[in-house]
């Protein structure tokens, strides 16, 4: 008899412990939005067949500079040898920062990054806009950033859970818009979204297509009368729309996309824009305690999907539409979904599971009516050939109703490892040779996948340690060919 034990309660206990440590230490931030020592150049399409990349250049010791570079479709740097200098004040940095970058729609980009202070915990966050010629248009400061998307008008929308700052567990989610001219249409302090739970998790944003955004997050709330370490909690998935004027469209606390059924935990939300002002929301559902294959809760482990229109109406069945993964393959154990719109009002959802005994990437397409368009249980996209889970999977749309998916692979027994990329067409067929295209050989400290807006993809990565760290960018064509050799070295 097979038995599984889910660790939802343990995760909450750990979360509480981290919060207590933060309070006792006086630190306003426990964790940054990135891993220590993650060397992470970020890339976005320039809208003309090329790329804009932000990367870090190590000068000596801990002295670092940040640059942005635009690469032409034929692989030539357009903003000088090293690009535009973004910041040179990183001598106190103890780890590589996280960048975020979005297109401004006119050949430029908006970049966000943290500037770590000498105490290595406090930091100032900056947001900079660069035009198509590499000129810095403006630079603004921000208290924090967790998510950034384009506002659709040459600016950006930034969101963060303020409990990571000084406001505690019941702090709101803050959403700030900076327009093309560097102004704050919603005020410099932004719009506050009050959440119901004590532990908002997995904050994500998608565009509403009208200069606003839809924010999606998970919540966990201790039930009254229960205490640590054996307390009971309620989990749910929430959403809120902030329109172009900065008004909350779906009530004060947003809408409940899913409240967990009895003995089930809902977590790991993700979202994709539906192209009509709404969103498709996905999440992971697990039983909250130990079960075996004779339990009625056995096949409750699944990925669930739901669609919300621009008015906040729930369009698919109450509780969401399950992908029926475990019902199809008992050993699947799906986890951590990601999603992208399919350009037809639906979404392509990807996840990792272990149904073959080794980790593999699967995907399912949900049409605009909430029906599975591909085979039940999902299509195998990439056979990772590893006996361990992978935390660095990414997905982007291909612009023709399909998706491009990437992941780190480590082949058990062979020692081969790197980053592999595969394309799915709108019918769910893999479009590139064999198991996909190996873009990076060796394990990067991190990488970024972006759509090129021409049915291909861009990929940037950092690799190496200490003074040997290097940044690269690669263009993969719609046919799966690596167009820039082994990648263009950025930090020369």
Q: What mean pLDDT is predicted for residues 143-160? A: 92
210-214, 272-276, 305-309, 331-335: segment of lowest average pLDDT: 331-335
Return the CATH class of domain 3-389.
Answer: mainly beta
Q: Is 344 exposed, middle or buried (0-12, 13-18, 19+ CB in 10 A)?
A: middle
**Residue 221 to residue 342: CA distance in whole angstroms:** 34
- Predicted confidence at residue 401, as pLDDT, reads 96
Q: Is the pLDDT of residue 422 over 70?
A: yes
- Predicted confidence at residue 234, as pLDDT, reads 79
Q: Rounded to the nearest 5 degrees, what angle is found at the Cα of 458, between the Cα atoms of 446 and 410?
A: 40
Structure tokens at 253: 């606390």
Instruction: Give tens-digit pLDDT for 357-383.
Output: 778 899 999 999 999 999 999 999 988
30-34, 147-151, 481-485: segment of lowest average pLDDT: 30-34
- Predicted confidence at residue 347, as pLDDT, reads 98
Q: At 456, phi and psi to the nearest 5?
A: -120, -160
How far apart, in Å, are the Cα atoms of 306 and each of 27, 205, 210, 271? 38, 16, 21, 9
Domain range annotation of the chain: 3-389
The alpha carbon dihedral of 179, 184, 188, 192 has a sign of: negative
Q: Is the pLDDT of residue 239 over 90?
A: yes
- Element (DSSP H or E) covering residue 196: none
**Residue 320 to residue 305: CA distance in whole angstroms:** 5
**Residue 458 to residue 50: CA distance in whole angstroms:** 9
Instruction: Grade residue 264 by pLDDT with cuts at 50, 70 and 90.
Output: confident
Q: Which residue has the higher pLDDT, 90 or 206?
A: 206
Q: Rounded to the nearest 5 degrees, what angle is found at the Cα of 417, between the Cα atoms of 413 and 421?
A: 125
Q: At 298, phi and psi to the nearest 5?
A: -55, -50
Instruction: Grade residue 178 by pLDDT with cuts at 50, 70 and 90.
Output: very high
**Of 197, 211, 334, 229, the residue nearest 9 (C-alpha):** 229
What is the gyration radius of the CA atoms in the chain, in angstroms? 22
How far apart, in Å, are the Cα atoms of 79 and each of 72, 134, 357, 471? 10, 6, 48, 16
Q: What mean pLDDT is predicted for residues 271-282? A: 97
Write down the residue that tokens 């803050």 correspond to: 174
β-pair type (394-397, 379-386):
unpaired
Mean pLDDT of the chain: 83
**Residue 15 to residue 132: CA distance in whole angstroms:** 43
**Residue 395 to residue 417: CA distance in whole angstroms:** 19
- Element (DSSP H or E) covering residue 39: none
What are the DSSP calls for 295-356, one per residue? STTGGG-EEEEEEE-TT--B-S-TT-EE--HHHH-TT---EEEEEEE-SSS-EEEEEEE-TT
Q: Which residue has the higher pLDDT, 264 or 313?
A: 313
DSSP label at residue 467: G
Q: What distance lies between CA 383 and its chain's CA centroid?
A: 22
- Predicted confidence at residue 262, as pLDDT, reads 72
Q: Is the pLDDT of residue 5 over 80?
A: no
- Predicted confidence at residue 391, as pLDDT, reads 58
> What whole-number percentage of the chain has pLDDT above 70?
78
Instruction: Give tens-digit pLDDT for 113-140.
Output: 877 554 444 466 899 999 999 999 999 9
Instruction: Grade residue 201 by pLDDT with cuts at 50, 70 and 90.
Output: confident
Q: What mean pLDDT is predicted for residues 178-207? A: 90
Q: What mean pLDDT is predicted for residues 96-100? A: 71
Instruction: Give tens-digit pLDDT for 15-31.
Output: 333 333 333 333 222 22
Q: At 41, phi and psi to the nearest 5?
A: -65, 140
Instruction: Grade residue 53 by pLDDT with cuts at 50, 70 and 90.
Output: very high
Q: What mean pLDDT is predicted for residues 187-212? A: 89
> What whole-number percentage of the chain has pLDDT above 90?
57
Q: Is the pLDDT of residue 10 over 70?
A: no
- Predicted confidence at residue 410, as pLDDT, reads 80
153-162, 292-301, 398-407: segment of lowest average pLDDT: 292-301
- Predicted confidence at residue 287, as pLDDT, reads 82
**Residue 162 to residue 214: CA distance in whole angstroms:** 17
């Amino acid at each position: 008899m097979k038995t599984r034990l889910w660790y939802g309660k343990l995760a909450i206990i750990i979360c509480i412990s981290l919060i207590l440590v933060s309070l006792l230490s006086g630190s306003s931030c426990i964790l940054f939005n990135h891993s220590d020592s993650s060397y992470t150049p970020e890339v976005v399409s320039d809208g003309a067949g090329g790329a804009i990349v932000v990367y870090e250049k190590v000068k000596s010791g801990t002295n670092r500079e940040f640059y942005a570079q635009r690469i032409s479709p034929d692989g030539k740097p357009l903003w000088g040898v090293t690009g535009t200098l973004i910041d040179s004040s990183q001598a106190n940095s103890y780890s590589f920062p996280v960048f975020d970058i979005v297109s401004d729609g006119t050949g430029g980009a908006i970049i966000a990054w943290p500037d770590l202070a000498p105490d290595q915990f406090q930091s100032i966050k900056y947001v900079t806009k660069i035009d198509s010629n590499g000129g810095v248009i403006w630079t603004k400061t921000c208290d924090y950033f967790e998510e950034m998307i384009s506002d659709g008008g040459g600016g950006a929308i930034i969101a963060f859970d303020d409990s990571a700052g000084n406001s505690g567990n019941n702090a709101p989610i803050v959403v700030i818009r900076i327009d093309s001219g560097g102004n704050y249409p919603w005020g410099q302090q932004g719009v506050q979204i009050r959440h119901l739970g004590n532990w908002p998790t997995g904050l994500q944003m998608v565009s509403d297509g009208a200069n606003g955004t839809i924010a999606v997050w998970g919540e966990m709330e201790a039930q009254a009368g229960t205490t640590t370490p054996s307390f009971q909690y309620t989990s749910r998935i929430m959403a809120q729309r902030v329109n172009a004027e900065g008004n909350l469209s779906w009530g004060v606390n947003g809408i409940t996309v899913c409240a967990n059924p009895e003995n089930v935990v809902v977590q790991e939300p993700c979202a994709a824009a539906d192209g009509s002002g709404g969103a498709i929301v996905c999440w992971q559902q697990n039983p909250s305690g130990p079960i075996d294959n004779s339990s009625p809760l056995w096949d409750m482990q699944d990925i669930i999907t739901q669609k919300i229109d621009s008015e906040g109406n729930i369009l698919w069945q109450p509780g969401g539409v399950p992908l029926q993964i475990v019902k199809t393959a008992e050993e699947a154990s799906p986890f951590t979904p990601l999603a992208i719109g399919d350009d037809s009002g639906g979404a392509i959802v990807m996840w990792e599971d272990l149904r073959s005994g080794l980790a593999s990437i699967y995907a399912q397409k949900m049409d605009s009516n909430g029906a599975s368009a591909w085979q039940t249980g999902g299509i195998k996209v990439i056979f990772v050939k590893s006996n361990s889970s992978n935390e660095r999977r990414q997905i982007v749309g291909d612009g023709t109703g399909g998706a491009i998916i990437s992941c780190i692979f480590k082949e058990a027994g062979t020692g081969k490892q790197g980053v592999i990329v595969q394309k799915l067409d709108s019918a769910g067929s893999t479009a590139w040779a064999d198991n996909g295209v190996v873009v990076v050989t060796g394990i990067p400290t991190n990488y970024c996948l972006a759509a090129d807006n021409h049915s291909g993809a861009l990929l940037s990565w950092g690799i190496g340690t200490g003074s040997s760290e290097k940044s690269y960018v690669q263009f993969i064509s719609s046919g799966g060919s690596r167009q820039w050799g082994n990648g263009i070295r950025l930090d020369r």
